[in-house]
Structure 1
Amino acid sequence: MNAFMTKGTFDFLKKLKDKHPDLELFYMNGEGSTLVYYESDKKKSIFASGRDFEAILQKGQIKKKGYVVMNNIPVTEEGTAVFEENFRNRQQHVDSFAGFQAFRLLRPQKGNQYVVLTQWASKEDFEDWKNSDQFKNAHKDGNVKQPAYFADRPFVTSYRMIDPDE
């Protein structure tokens, strides 16, 4: 499955749902802008500019309401296999945590920036997971040293789902 996202002004992006009624577009607000995300079996995006991904791991269904956290991780070309394998082997069981809605590991079609997307019913649910023993165990090595396969420092963006009709 492929995933696509773009950022822009709400007024401009709102028009996309009328142009593409066959697609389920997810609107998010955060970081001073609006982001639109959708998933498709098609390889070509509807966006003139944006980011294209392959969803290589997924759990749950993206919902129209909730809180989204995207961990943006630049990975070296040599490190992609190790990075992906680490995710496949990591047993976080995040999907069993209260408020969990969806998880996607998104491999970039261009560039080196993977996105680990999680969606939660609320920001509080995300914070509860982040403060859990489960999260601490899964990330216990994260404070020591950045893995060699990271091309640059990862960064996190967060969004609240919005309804374009409201």
Structure 2
Amino acid sequence: MFIAMNRFKVRPDSEDMFLARWLDREVSLCGVPGFVAIRFMKGDVYETYILYASETTWVSREAFDDWKQSDVFRTAHRTAGQGEMLTIERRESNGFEVLKTVSALS
């Protein structure tokens, strides 16, 4: 399993616009081979920014890499960077191979 994470430091005066971009847009990942899930999360609130993160889960790193080379990816990201800058710096992106998962007891 592979997880791709993005972290965003959102300017407080831009939070509503940032949320609209993330929560109101169509998610085109559902039919992509190897896609498992996406999560969008709000983190700590600081004086100068609000921390947000997105997490996509994939069956493998290869499935994630294939998606990044696909027309689905190009279409979903065709307007990226064209709107008003809502963060205090560029997003931080990282990928992680899942080494171990511990689940709650049923």
Alignment TM-score > 0.5, same fold:
yes
1:152 is matched with: 89
Find the aligned partners of 2:85 and 2:11 in 1 and give their Cα distance: 8
1:103 is matched with: 38
2:74 is matched with: 136
TM-superposition CA deviations, 1:58-103 (whole Å, max 9, x none): xxxxxxxx10000111111111111111112221321221111111
Point out which structure has higher relative CO (alpha carbons under 8 A, 6+ apart): 2
Q: Displacement, 1:164?
A: 6.9
Percent identical pairs in the alignment equals 24
Q: Pairwise CA RMSD of aligned residues? A: 1.9
Larger Rg: 1
Find the aligned partners of 2:101 and 2:71 in 1 and give their Cα distance: 37
Tell me the number of residue pairs that the alignment of Structure 1 and Structure 2 aligns.
Answer: 99
Find the aligned partners of 1:119 and 1:147 in 2 and give their Cα distance: 28
Structure 1 moving runs of 4+ over 3 Å: 144-147
CA contact 1:90–1:138 (8 Å) conserved in 2: no
Structure 2 alignment gaps of length 5 or more: none
Q: TM-score, normalised by structure 2?
A: 0.82
Q: Displacement, 1:109?
A: 3.2
Change (3 A) 1:108 1:164: closer
Q: TM-score, normalised by structure 1?
A: 0.54
